[in-house]
Chain A
Amino acid sequence: MAVTWLSYAIFQRALIGCVMTGLLTGLLGVFVVRMRLTAIGYSMAHSAFAGAALGVALGADPLITAMMFSAFTASFIGPAADKARIPVDTITSIAFSLNMALAFIFLTLSPQVGLSSEVAGVIWGSIIALTSEDLAFLTLIFLIASLLIYLFWKEFFAIMFDRRMAEADGINTRPFVYFIVFMVGLVVAFSLKLVGGILLYALLFNPASSALQFLHDMKKIIILSPVIGVISCISGFLLSLTFDVPVGACIALVSTIIFAISVALSPKRRKEVRK
Chain B
Amino acid sequence: MAPIIELKDVSTVYEGERRPAIRDINLTLEEGEVIYVVGPNAAGKTTLLETICGLLPASMGRVLVFNLDVRKFGGRIRREIGYVPQDFMVDPGEPYTALDVVLMGRFGKIGILNKLSGEDKMKALEAMKLLGIEDLTNKPIGKLSGGQQQKVMIARAISKEPKILLLDEPFSSLDPESRERVSEMISWLNRERGITAVIVTHDLRQIHNQHSRVIVMSGGRIVAEGDFKSILESAKIFFP
**Cross-chain contact A166 with B107 (CB below 8 angstroms):** yes
A169/B104 contact (C-beta < 8 A), A152-B112, A216-B95, A272-B92 known: yes
Among A212, A213, A216, A271, point to the contact of B97 (Cβ < 8 A).
A216
Residue A172 CB within 8 A of the other chain: yes
Among B16, B78, B113, point to the contact of A167 (Cβ < 8 A).
B78
Give the distance in Å from the alpha carbon of A158 to the alpha carbon of B227 in the complex: 39
Contact bitstring B102-128, A, C-beta under 8 A = 1, else 0: 001101111011011000000000000
**Cross-chain contact B112 with A170 (CB below 8 angstroms):** no
**Cross-chain contact B55 with A161 (CB below 8 angstroms):** no
Complex contacts, B110 vs chain A, CB 8 Å: 154
Nearest neighbor of B76 in chain A, beta-carbon distance: A170
For A, the interface residue count at a CB cutoff of 8 angstroms equals 30
Residue B15 CB within 8 A of the other chain: yes
Give the distance in Å from the alpha carbon of A158 to the alpha carbon of B160 in the complex: 14
Give the distance in Å from the alpha carbon of A236 to the alpha carbon of B132 in the complex: 51
Complex contacts, A166 vs chain B, CB 8 Å: 104, 107-108
**Cross-chain contact A218 with B95 (CB below 8 angstroms):** yes
Nearest neighbor of A211 in chain B, beta-carbon distance: B95
Can you identify 26 A-B contacts, CB atoms within 8 angstroms? A154-B115, A154-B116, A155-B112, A157-B104, A161-B96, A161-B100, A162-B88, A166-B108, A167-B55, A168-B83, A169-B79, A169-B104, A169-B107, A169-B108, A170-B76, A170-B77, A170-B79, A171-B107, A171-B108, A212-B93, A213-B93, A216-B140, A217-B97, A268-B92, A268-B93, A269-B93
Residue B53 CB within 8 A of the other chain: yes
Give the distance in Å from the alpha carbon of A174 to the alpha carbon of B109 in the complex: 18
Nearest neighbor of A266 in chain B, beta-carbon distance: B93
Complex contacts, A212 vs chain B, CB 8 Å: 93, 95
B positions within 8 Å CB-CB of A: 15-16, 53, 55, 75-79, 81, 83, 85, 88, 92-97, 100-101, 104-105, 107-110, 112-113, 115-116, 140, 143, 156, 160
Among B96, B105, B116, point to the contact of A169 (Cβ < 8 A).
B105
**Cross-chain contact A168 with B96 (CB below 8 angstroms):** no
A85/B95 contact (C-beta < 8 A), A161-B104, A171-B107, A172-B75 known: no
**Cross-chain contact A165 with B107 (CB below 8 angstroms):** no
A155/B107 contact (C-beta < 8 A), A167-B78, A212-B93, A216-B140 known: yes
**Apart from A170-B77, A216-B97, A221-B95: 5 A-B pairs, beta carbons within 8 A:** A158-B104, A168-B55, A169-B78, A170-B108, A216-B95
Give the distance in Å from the alpha carbon of A82 to the alpha carbon of B96 in the complex: 25
Kindly provide the distance from the CB of B134 to the nearest chain A CB, expressed in whole angstroms: 19
A217/B55 contact (C-beta < 8 A), A152-B112, A152-B113 known: no
**Cross-chain contact A151 with B113 (CB below 8 angstroms):** yes
Complex contacts, B83 vs chain A, CB 8 Å: 165, 168
**Cross-chain contact B96 with A170 (CB below 8 angstroms):** no
Give the distance in Å from the alpha carbon of A93 to the alpha carbon of B227 in the complex: 53
Residue A215 CB within 8 A of the other chain: yes
Give the distance in Å from the alpha carbon of A6 to the alpha carbon of B143 in the complex: 47
Give the distance in Å from the alpha carbon of A166 to the alpha carbon of B55 in the complex: 11
Complex contacts, B94 vs chain A, CB 8 Å: 161
Q: When A and B form their complex, which 10 residue pairs have the shortest distance between CB atoms, in order from nearest?
A: A170-B108, A170-B79, A169-B108, A170-B78, A168-B83, A216-B140, A268-B93, A158-B104, A170-B75, A216-B95
Complex contacts, A169 vs chain B, CB 8 Å: 78-79, 104-105, 107-109, 160
Nearest neighbor of B159 in chain A, beta-carbon distance: A169
Complex contacts, B76 vs chain A, CB 8 Å: 170
Complex contacts, B97 vs chain A, CB 8 Å: 216-217
Give the distance in Å from the alpha carbon of A269 to the alpha carbon of B113 in the complex: 36
Kindly provide the distance from the CB of B124 to the nearest chain A CB, expressed in whole angstroms: 13
Give the distance in Å from the alpha carbon of A152 to the alpha carbon of B110 in the complex: 12
Complex contacts, B53 vs chain A, CB 8 Å: 168
Kindly provide the distance from the CB of A38 to the nearest chain B CB, expressed in whole angstroms: 15
Nearest neighbor of A218 in chain B, beta-carbon distance: B95
Give the distance in Å from the alpha carbon of A3 to the alpha carbon of B97 in the complex: 45
**Cross-chain contact B95 with A215 (CB below 8 angstroms):** yes
Complex contacts, B105 vs chain A, CB 8 Å: 169
Complex contacts, A215 vs chain B, CB 8 Å: 95
Complex contacts, A152 vs chain B, CB 8 Å: 112-113
Kindly provide the distance from the CB of A146 to the nearest chain B CB, expressed in whole angstroms: 16
Give the distance in Å from the alpha carbon of A179 to the alpha carbon of B106 in the complex: 23
**Cross-chain contact B108 with A85 (CB below 8 angstroms):** no
**Cross-chain contact B15 with A85 (CB below 8 angstroms):** yes
Complex contacts, B93 vs chain A, CB 8 Å: 212-213, 268-269
Nearest neighbor of A153 in chain B, beta-carbon distance: B115
Contact bitstring A208-234, B, C-beta under 8 A = 1, else 0: 000011011110010000000000000
Nearest neighbor of A86 in chain B, beta-carbon distance: B16
